[in-house]
Amino acid sequence: MPLPVTQGASSVILPVRVLNDANAPVLGLTDESAGLVVEYKMVGEDSWTLIELEAGTIGEHTEGGWVEDTGGDGFYELGFPDAGINHGSVTRIRIKAPSQTKYRYDWLTAMQVSRDEVPSGETIATRVAELLSSLRIDVQQSVQITGDDLEFVRGDDYIAHPVRVNLDTSGLEDPNEDLSAFRLVLSVYSSETEALFAIAADIVGDPGSQYAMFAPPASLTETWAAGTFNLLYRIEYAANKYWTIKRDATFRVVASDTDPDDITDVTAE
C-alpha cells in the first residue's frame, strides 16, 4: 500500500507492519534481529537493495532507523533512506521476518506525488477516493457464483488454486489507471457492529486487466466458522486508509472438513 509523499521529500519515516507466514503480527523485532530483511527496489531497477538497519527512535528519522511502534500489533517505524526515494514514481519495499519464508509487500510502498498534481482545496486521499469510486467488481472462481458473492470451503487449501477477483476499471476516467500499488481487501462481518476478519491480496496485472488472487491456506480457512456473512470489497490505498468500492456482497464458508477414515474408495475398475 502506498505512502504518499510530496515531490522532493526526504527524511521519510515509513510505518510498516511485519507479519509471519501465517499472517500473524511479529512483535519485538530490533535492528539486530537475526534474519530480519528489509529491502527496496525503485522502478526500472533489476535488483533489490538491502536497508542496513540501526536502532531508531519513535518520531525521529535516521536512515535505516528501526523501532517498534508503541501501539504494538506488529507495527514499526522505518527511517527510509533518501537514496531510495524515486521522485515522481514508485519505490517498492518488502520485508521478511526472521525464520520465515515469505516476503510481505502489503502496503509497504512509497509513492512520490508532486504538489502540482493535487489541485488547490483537494488532498491526495480525496483524489484517490474519487478515482476508485467508479470501480466495479467481477469475481471469477471455480464454483458457480452469483454476482459479487464469494464462497470458500472450510479447511480447503487455496494456495495452488486461488480465487481470482477482477477489477473492471472501464468506468474510470483513465480506464488504464495502474492500481498495482494498492491492495484489495475482503472485509467479512456478521452485522454492522461485528467485524469477523479481513484478508487482503496485492492488485496485479496490466492496467486495464488488473485483478487480485486470494490464496488462503488450509491453516487459515479451517479457523473460519461455517455460515453466510456480509462482505465489503475495499481498496487499501495508504497506511490504514481504505475506500469501500462494493458492499452488500456475500461471503459464504461451507463446512466440509473430511476425516480420511470416513472416505470410501469408489474408483471404477
pLDDT band at 114 (very low <50, low <70, confident <90, very high): very low
Burial class of residue 244 in the structure, from the number of CB atoms within 10 Å of its CB (0-12 exposed, 13-18 middle, 19+ buried): middle
H or E element at residue 139: strand 136-140
pLDDT band at 113 (very low <50, low <70, confident <90, very high): very low
Q: How many CB atoms lie within 10 A of CB 180?
A: 15
Res. 12: pLDDT tops 50:
yes
Buried b (16+ CB within 10 A) or exposed e, 15-50: ebbbbbeeeeebeebeeeeeebebbbbbeeeeebee
Q: Do 75 and 68 form a contact (C-beta atoms < 8 A)?
A: yes
Q: Which helix (H) or strand (E) element contains residue 4? A: strand 2-6
Q: How far apart are CA 243 and CA 235, in angstroms?
A: 5
pLDDT at 54: 96
Q: What is the pLDDT of residue 123?
A: 52
What global pTM score does this model have? Answer: 0.48
Positions of E strands within 192-240: 194-204, 210-214, 227-238
Query: What's the pLDDT at 118?
Result: 46
Predicted local distance difference test score (pLDDT) of residue 134: 54
Alpha-carbon gap, residue 148 to 18, rounded angstroms: 31
Residue 69, all three cell numbers: 511502534
**Predicted local distance difference test score (pLDDT) of residue 180:** 85
Number of residues written out for the chain? 269
Contact 81, 64 (CB under 8 A): yes
**Residues linked to residue 184 through DSSP beta bridges, in sequence order:** 201, 235
Of the ranges 29-33, 71-75, 136-140, which is most confident?
29-33
What's the pLDDT tens digit per position in 72-103? 788 899 998 888 876 556 677 889 999 998 88
Question: What percentage of the chain exceeds 70 in pLDDT?
Answer: 75
C-alpha cell at 20: 509471519
| Structural domains of the chain sorted by starting position, each given as residue range(s) with its CATH number in brackets | 2-116 (2.60.40), 124-255 (2.60.40)
Cell of 171: 468506468
| DSSP three-state, residue 60 | strand
Mean pLDDT of the chain: 78
Confidence of residue 268 (pLDDT cuts 50, 70, 90): confident
The CA angle 236-240-245, to the nearest 5 degrees, is 30
Could you count the other beta carbons within 10 Å of the beta carbon of residue 66? 23
Whether 164 and 209 have beta carbons less than 8 Å apart is answered as: no
- Three-class SS state of 168: strand
Q: Give the pLDDT score at 97.
A: 93
Which tens digits make up the pLDDT trace of 38-73?
Answer: 998 876 778 899 999 999 998 899 999 999 987 778
Average pLDDT (6-13) is 69
Instruction: Identify the three-state secondary structure at position 59.
Output: coil
| Strands 13-17, 75-79: pairing kind | antiparallel
- Band (pLDDT 50/70/90 cuts) for residue 19 is confident
**Best-predicted range by mean pLDDT among 30-39, 141-150, 159-168, 235-244?**
30-39
pLDDT at 249 over 60: yes
How confident is the model at residue 99, as a pLDDT? Answer: 93
Residue type, 148: D
Sign of the CA dihedral with 51 first, then 52, 53, and 56 last = negative
pLDDT digits (tens, 9 = 90+) for 182-241: 888 899 998 777 888 899 999 888 887 888 899 999 999 989 999 999 998 888 887 778
